[in-house]
Amino acid sequence: MIVIAIILGCVIGAVIGINAPVIPYTYSTFLAIAVVAALDSVFGGIRSVLKKNFDLVVFITGFFCNSILSIALTYLGQKLNIDIYLAALLVFVGRMFTNLTIIRLHYIDKWKEAKAQKQAKPKAIEEK
Amino acid sequence: MTDKKMISLILGCMCILLSAGIAIQVRTIGGIGTSTGSNSTENQLRDAILKTKENYDNLYEALEKAEVKLETERTNATQNNSELTDLENNIKEANKQLGLTEVTGEGVIVTLNDSTVPLTGSTILSDPNDYLIHYEDIISIINELKNAGAEAISINGQRIVANSVIKCDGTVIKVNGQKIGTPFVISAIGMQETLAQVNRYYGYLWKMKNEWNLDVSFERTKNPITIPKYTGTIKFNYAQSQ
């Protein structure tokens, strides 16, 4: 059910995005950084689901607060003439890679376990 | 179960936001038609140009709005005074003649395109330059249109006024300082019967088509055509009327 909701949401979102008006180029940096922040939150959410410490409230607040804060920081950076968004990007993308690694390792472990069980099973039958 | 429904609903909404954001961003960048280069200086320069261009567009829009407002204010102010109304009409007429207002009317459209005949590279006689439209061709066509009584002319949206310059600029042509490329669409407003003389037998356009095999077309439009106004400034610093 959750998977269906995610896929449906992605499809509806893509349709809305294709039909929505294009934003001015000046603001595209803000949208880009917000998208990266949101993606980071999503990967963080997947990781926490796998680690079984998923908290919906933490996830939702992270999703929105990260996006809004990153936009605010980018704006501040533009005012101060310093590329703060690069630092935000570094943190978000760095964390995304960490989360992806954790997700990957989790599935590799699972796969190895399944393989070990498969090999162990015939032996057990033989012993019987 | 309700908890699971709630979670899937919220996740679905987030996915909508996320993919809509990505799609809008992709379209914004795609609409500009640039890709991110590998050189960071190049990217910064491109970014600066795009932002400046956007700023210019916004300011130009504001200017146009202000001009419309000025026009209505002027009309309101001169409504009850016949002397002022005459002056107002004089200003309008002068602006029309200078090319500072958008005009609409019957006319013709001449389209010039590079030759579609494949270049025969084997002979020494074939010069690739013979297969392209040059600025001289455009000047000749405009001259013929003016001679045929065209009242307003534009090339690819650039209005031709008294101080317009048509100039070769490498692979493109500069009109009013703006770069334009093929196909060159020359619109002219005037009496269609006389303007049709541009398309006469053995005229310049005929030669371009039949002797030089360039891809040109001539069209008498049924609907009135609109020619935009000149967007530059006309300034007289030295010439003074007596």
Cβ distance A2 to B50 less than 8 Å, yes or no, reads no
The pLDDT of residue A123 is 60
The pLDDT of residue A50 is 82
Residue count of chain A: 128
Q: Are B54 and A26 in contact (CB under 8 A)?
A: yes
Chain A residues in contact with B49 by the CB 8 A cut-off are: none
* Every domain of chain B and the residues it spans: 103-227
- List, in order, residues 6 or more apart from B180 with CB less than 8 Å away: B155, B156, B158, B172, B173, B174
CA distance to partner chain A, nearest, from residue B65 (Å):
20
Cβ distance A25 to B50 less than 8 Å, yes or no, reads yes
Option in A9, A24, A35 nearest B11 (CB): A9
* Residue B76: pLDDT band with limits 50, 70, 90: confident
A118: left (phi over 0), alpha (psi -120 to 50) or beta: alpha
Disruptive mutation site among B2, B9, B19 for chain A (greatest number of A CBs within 10 Å):
B19
Q: Is the pLDDT of residue A124 over 60?
A: no
Chain A residues in contact with B51 by the CB 8 A cut-off are: 25-26
A80 interface with B at CB cutoff 8 Å: no
Long-range contacts of A49-53 (CB under 8 A, 24+ apart): A50/A102, A50/A103, A50/A106, A51/A102
Domain B103-227 has CATH 3.50.50.60: no
CA distance to partner chain A, nearest, from residue B54 (Å):
7
Asked if omega into A122 is within 30° of 0 (cis), the reply is: no
* Residue A128: pLDDT band with limits 50, 70, 90: low
Cβ distance B6 to A56 less than 8 Å, yes or no, reads yes
- Report the SS3 class of residue A51: coil
Cβ distance A42 to B14 less than 8 Å, yes or no, reads yes
Alpha carbon distance A30, A60 (integer Å): 20
Buried b (16+ CB within 10 A) or exposed e, A41-62: bbbbbbbbebeeeeeeeebbeb
Alpha carbon distance B202, A31 (integer Å): 59
CA distance to partner chain A, nearest, from residue B30 (Å):
10
B59 interface with A at CB cutoff 8 Å: no
Structure tokens at A28: 């595209």
Chain A residues in contact with B21 by the CB 8 A cut-off are: 13, 17, 31, 34-35, 38
Chain A residues in contact with B36 by the CB 8 A cut-off are: none
Cβ distance B28 to A16 less than 8 Å, yes or no, reads no
The pLDDT of residue B121 is 59
Largest interatomic CA distance in chain A? 75
Chain B residues in contact with A23 by the CB 8 A cut-off are: 24, 28
C-alpha dihedral, B15 to B18 to B24 to B25, nearest 10°: -150
Tens of pLDDT, residues A38-84: 889 888 888 888 888 878 888 888 888 989 999 998 899 888 888 88
Percent of chain A at pLDDT exceeding 90: 20
Q: Are B50 and B43 in contact (CB under 8 A)?
A: no
CA distance to partner chain A, nearest, from residue B2 (Å):
12
Instruction: Give B75 or B108, the one with higher predicted confidence.
Output: B108
- Report the SS3 class of residue B135: helix
Cβ distance B28 to A28 less than 8 Å, yes or no, reads yes
C-alpha dihedral, B68 to B70 to B72 to B73, nearest 10°: 160
* Residue B107: pLDDT band with limits 50, 70, 90: very high
Residue B150: what residue type?
A
Q: What is the ipTM of this complex?
A: 0.74
- List, in order, residues 6 or more apart from B189 with CB less than 8 Å away: B103, B104, B105, B106, B107, B150, B151, B152, B153, B225, B227
